[in-house]
Amino acid sequence: MKILLAIDGSSCSEAVVEAVAGRTWSPDTRVRIITVVETPFVPVSEKEGYYAQFQETTEKAAHNKGQAVIDKAVAAILSGENKALRITAKVLKGSPAQIILYEAEQWDADLIFVGSHGYTAAEQAYLGSVSQVVATHAKCSVEIVRRKKSSESEVSPEVK
């Protein structure tokens, strides 16, 4: 089985990692963890001097943050019962929903795990949530994981 785990560091993303880490997978299961970073748009005419330096600095910071999110997820998954899972991971750049769908298709994923909410408020406002776009357009099964607060104010994952 090939599982694409799309995360962004949000609390729902942490619930996705917990959901994958908490299950027992067959030894031949492969997990690809991705995080997609969005960087500010800088017009081509402005891609020199200050603007170029700004974009380069912003992209590097976003990549480093994405790598930290991935490193934490890999450690969480391998700390459980799934130490033998074959995990690959990468930070990608672009529109999260589009990149997740593209990566799932190119890698021929059997299952995509995404959180119900993430950090990309602008994309949610204009295009709908990333999870909704992925669920309606993916060519494989999609599991959307949400984080639901319990009555004791603890946070626990819930699968939608």
Q: pLDDT digit of tens for each residue in the chain (160 aa)?
A: 999 999 998 888 899 999 999 998 988 999 999 999 987 666 656 556 777 777 788 889 999 999 999 999 999 998 877 777 899 999 999 999 999 999 999 999 999 999 887 555 554 444 458 888 999 999 999 999 987 665 444 445 555 5
149 - beta bridge partners? 155
Instruction: Say how far apart CA 86 and CA 146 lie, in whole Å.
Output: 25
Q: Sign of torsion, CA 110 92 125 61?
A: positive
What confidence score (pLDDT) does residue 108 get? 98
Count CB-CB contacts under 10 A for residue 74.
18
Q: Is 128 left (phi over 0), alpha (psi -120 to 50) or beta?
A: left
* Fold observed for domain 2-159: Rossmann fold (3.40.50)
Domain coordinates in residue numbering, the chain = 2-159
Instruction: Say which DSSP state 134 is in.
Output: H
What confidence score (pLDDT) does residue 44 get? 58
What confidence score (pLDDT) does residue 38 get? 84
* Matching residue, tokens 């997740």: 100
What confidence score (pLDDT) does residue 93 get? 93
- pTM exceeds 0.85: no
In this structure, are residues 3 and 29 in contact, taking their beta carbons and an 8 Å threshold? yes
